[in-house]
């Protein structure tokens, strides 16, 4: 099993503190709309804004033609101090060949 941080294109993100804003599931794709944390190694990284811990940028984590197997799926929503709503975080993301395992709120 390989951690997402070792995968090209994801190695400059920190998903554990990124926020999932929406999940779009269709037969040809599974997409997570993210307020993603960029690490200092990311070319678009800038110092965090006042009051923020990380550099956040909107983005999408997309899987093409996936075979999805939800072990559990929560409808929970979370709110930050500004009242913005999200679906939580991606706490675990590992890869085993062309199989991916994601776990989160």
Q: What is the pLDDT of residue 71?
A: 86
The CA-based diameter of the chain, rounded to the nearest angstrom, is: 41
Residues (pLDDT < 70) of the chain are 81
Q: What is the pTM of this model?
A: 0.89
Scan for tokens 């979370």, then name that residue: 78
Scan for tokens 């926020």, then name that residue: 19
Q: What is the pLDDT of residue 21?
A: 95
Domain ranges of the chain: 2-104
Tokens of 69: 């197997």
For residues 54 and 26, give the distance between their C-alpha atoms in angstroms, rounded to a whole number: 31
């Amino acid at each position: 099993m390989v951690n997402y941080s070792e995968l090209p294109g994801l190695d400059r993100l920190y998903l554990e503190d990124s926020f999932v804003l929406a999940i779009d599931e269709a037969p040809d794709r599974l997409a997570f709309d993210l307020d993603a944390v960029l690490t200092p190694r990311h070319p678009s990284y800038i110092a965090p804004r006042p009051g923020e811990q990380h550099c956040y940028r909107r983005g999408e984590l997309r899987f093409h033609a996936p075979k999805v197997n939800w072990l559990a799926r929560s409808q929970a929503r979370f709110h930050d101090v500004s009242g913005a709503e999200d679906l939580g975080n991606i706490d675990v993301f590992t890869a085993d060949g062309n199989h991916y395992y994601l776990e989160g709120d």
